[in-house]
Amino acid sequence: MKRSATTAAPPSRGAPNDWRPTGLDVAVTAALVLVTVVLYAPVRTHEFLNYDDNEYVTEHPHVPHGLTWAGVRWALTGVHQATWHPLTSLSHLVDVELFGLDAGAHLLENVVLHALATAVLFLVLAAMTGARWPSAWVAAVFAWHPLHVESVAWVSERKDVLSGLCWMLTLAAHLRFARRPTWGRWAAVVAVFAAGLLAKPMLVTLPFVLLLLDWWPLGRLRDRATAIALVREKVPLFALAAVVSVLTVAAQRSAGALAATLASTPLAYRLGNAAISYVTYLWKTVWPTGLAVFYPAPAHLSAWHALGAALVLVAITAAVAIARRRRPFLAVGWLWYLGTLVPVIGVVRQGDQAMADRFTYLPAIGLYVMVAWGALSVPGLRRNGPLLATGAVATLAACVAVTAAQIPHWQNSLTLFSHAVAVTRDNHVAHSNLGIALDERGRHDEAIEHYARAVAIAPGYAKAHLNLGRALARAGRAAESEAEYAEAVRLDPGSATAAYNLGLARAERGALDDAIAEYRRALAIDPRYAKAANNLGWALAAQGDATAAVAAYERALAIDPTLVATHNNLAVTLADLGRMDEAIAHATTATTLAPTEPRAHANRGALLAQAGRHTEAITAFREALRLDPRLVEVRIDLAATLTATGERNAAIAEYRTVLRERPDDPTATAALAGLEQRAP
């Protein structure tokens, strides 16, 4: 590529074209990385969260199996949480392949990616500006600011740190190209930018930021002609961004997320919330307290509140516009902040949060640039080095202290949502997920209280009704449970999980026709819902339709061949149809998949006995009893099989053991009496 007029001027007013990091720059980089890693080291003991981590990793149909061909194919072509980000999806597959479901290891990778992004940010800013210490301060605030804990300490936010590293590498590649334009260097810009888009579509704003950096600090934008040339230069990047934007909208539309939000939230509300969010992010950048994983959107916005926020934004924009010639870094930083937040500011909103700390991960860098170079532009401060240094160190120390206090809140779901409930008001999502965490710890009464609170706050929140239904079912309150499931289905007809649970409730009270209808509804919504197919088979078998039951079980196993219950159920049904060899084969598969599950061995033993393979049956029964000696019915089956093989004394011993456990058992009593009456 020939040198163009756009790069005739020096790339930076402060840094020469041949800038290379000195030993001090290397030391600063190492210090930034070291402090970042040490600060975030506690995440090694953290757990997966019940908010998104289950859907991104632990309960996903592909991710828990690691790198498989099916998983890779899904990562490249499938939609993950209403978003297409194949590079992020592949990274989750790789993590499971390397570390299994060890949340701490997954999070340490987040820390490493965040630390690398910090290092590249420092080196790029220093190379662009020639200003080491402002660049170091910006990179340090990026690394240690409490608002960014969410992006690092949450497995599901791998997309933030991975795309963040790609963002910084794109800046570095762009700097190299600006210094000496060649086709190879341009290809590097396009490649790392494309990788960033494949990690998180939010990077669609990066070409806009590159144009800002061409103005300051690179000094490439001098007049109208160079501006046109620079825009033309970045047309391929804008084209990539446009393609990914279209794909993202299509993915959200296919998942129903976009239409639901646009239909339920008026434009005036979304615009008002966007203005308020911009200003709130500014305030939380300066005073990061009350941070929570979820900020509920208020039912109504104050028009005066929204108008006031809009006026603040207009005032700041006007101020930086006036100062743009003498202090271009203010305009660059402000436009960086405003522009990069556009995809997530809520005008086109996915989800019902008002805002999210993670959305500031890259946009806030613009604010840090404004502060760092703005301080240097104040004559009194510029001449008072000790005062500047003291302020910079104090700011960084405060960031480290608050971040160190914030990280433990992300230890697990209980700590995270307890904190969210404490620092926010009427947070239905926090109450619902706190209920899940309490349920998992056996604190069921407390869980029900929080689910009920979530329902009271947001009666239209289907997940809270679903969670409350599950908790009530565990508490034995079947009628109330079924009512909650029915309400969840009414509120969210597209929830396969709600339909499945409603099917469970109706099967439990014997309404098999209704249960079958709900299982079929769940499968229509999610054709790969293996548990729904299994339970459909069970209900059909209970109605005596063995042939249809077999088809449902086979469908479940085609989706997930590891379902032990389905293998057992299918084995029993096949035996009812007289297909004993197939039945025993499935029962054997169940014991292979779950060698420590006693009932799987018992089921296999019963089928072997039914087929006349008594010796094998006895072995299976004894293995089941070794695993769980309390299985009285299995001991009765073992005794009956021993009797059939002529092992009278062994059978008597087993029946006597049964009667010690259940002295009035009629089967054991009659069988033992018969054996004892026979001549030895």
Q: What is the pLDDT of residues 313-336, one digit of tens each?
A: 999 999 999 999 999 999 999 999
Domain boundary among 376, 409, 442: 409
Phi, psi of 354 (to 5 degrees): -75, -35
Considering only residues 661 and 151, tell me which one the structure prediction assigns the higher pLDDT: 151
**Would residue 1 count as lying in a domain?**
no
Look up the domain containing 346 and give its range. 21-409
**Would residue 217 count as lying in a domain?**
yes
* Number of C-beta neighbours around residue 44 at 10 A: 13
Nearest to 538 by CA among 522, 528, 549: 549
Nearest to 357 by CA among 426, 292, 434: 292
Domain boundary among 381, 409, 437: 409
Q: What is the mean pLDDT of the chain?
A: 92
**Would residue 563 count as lying in a domain?**
no
Question: Residue 580 above 60 pLDDT?
Answer: yes
pLDDT-based confidence at residue 583 (cuts at 50, 70, 90) = very high
In angstroms, the CA 516 to CA 524 distance is 12
Task: Give pLDDT, residue 1.
Answer: 43
Question: Residue 373 above 90 pLDDT?
Answer: yes
Task: Give pLDDT, residue 253.
Answer: 73
Domain boundary among 409, 429, 453: 409
Considering only residues 680 and 386, tell me which one the structure prediction assigns the higher pLDDT: 386
The CB-based long-range contact list for 528-532 (8 Å cut-off, 24+ gap) reads 528/61, 528/559, 529/496, 529/500, 529/559, 530/556, 530/557, 530/559, 530/560, 530/563, 530/566, 531/500, 531/556, 531/563, 532/496, 532/499, 532/500, 532/503
Range with the lowest mean pLDDT among 28-32, 315-319, 459-463, 664-668? 664-668
What percent of the chain shows pLDDT beyond 90? 84
Task: Give pLDDT, residue 319.
Answer: 97
Task: Give pLDDT, residue 20.
Answer: 85
pLDDT-based confidence at residue 8 (cuts at 50, 70, 90) = very low
Question: Residue 58 above 80 pLDDT?
Answer: yes
Nearest to 456 by CA among 466, 444, 464: 464
pLDDT tens digits for range 519-558 = 999 999 999 899 999 999 999 999 999 999 999 999 999 9
**Would residue 331 count as lying in a domain?**
yes
pLDDT-based confidence at residue 261 (cuts at 50, 70, 90) = low
**Would residue 9 count as lying in a domain?**
no
Tell me what the mean pLDDT of segment 497-509 comes to: 96
pLDDT-based confidence at residue 235 (cuts at 50, 70, 90) = very high
Question: Residue 51 above 50 pLDDT?
Answer: yes
Task: Give pLDDT, residue 486.
Answer: 97
pLDDT-based confidence at residue 18 (cuts at 50, 70, 90) = low
What percent of the chain shows pLDDT beyond 70? 95
Task: Give pLDDT, residue 259.
Answer: 47
pLDDT tens digits for range 173-227 = 999 999 999 999 999 999 999 999 999 999 999 999 999 999 999 999 989 999 9
**Would residue 400 count as lying in a domain?**
yes
**Would residue 496 count as lying in a domain?**
no
Nearest to 585 by CA among 603, 558, 559: 603
Residue pair 369/333 in contact (Cβ under 8 Å)? The answer is yes
Residue pair 643/667 in contact (Cβ under 8 Å)? The answer is no
Number of domains the chain is built from: 2
**Entry pTM:** 0.88
Question: Residue 244 above 80 pLDDT?
Answer: yes
**Would residue 544 count as lying in a domain?**
no
Q: SS3 of 354, please?
A: strand
Measure Cα distances from 255 to 82, 218, 464, 478 in Å: 5, 42, 20, 32
Question: Residue 346 above 90 pLDDT?
Answer: no
Question: Residue 260 above 90 pLDDT?
Answer: no
pLDDT-based confidence at residue 263 (cuts at 50, 70, 90) = low
In angstroms, the CA 174 to CA 171 distance is 5
Range with the lowest mean pLDDT among 29-43, 166-180, 383-397, 445-459? 383-397
Question: Residue 13 above 80 pLDDT?
Answer: no
Q: SS3 of 675, please?
A: helix
Task: Give pLDDT, residue 606.
Answer: 95
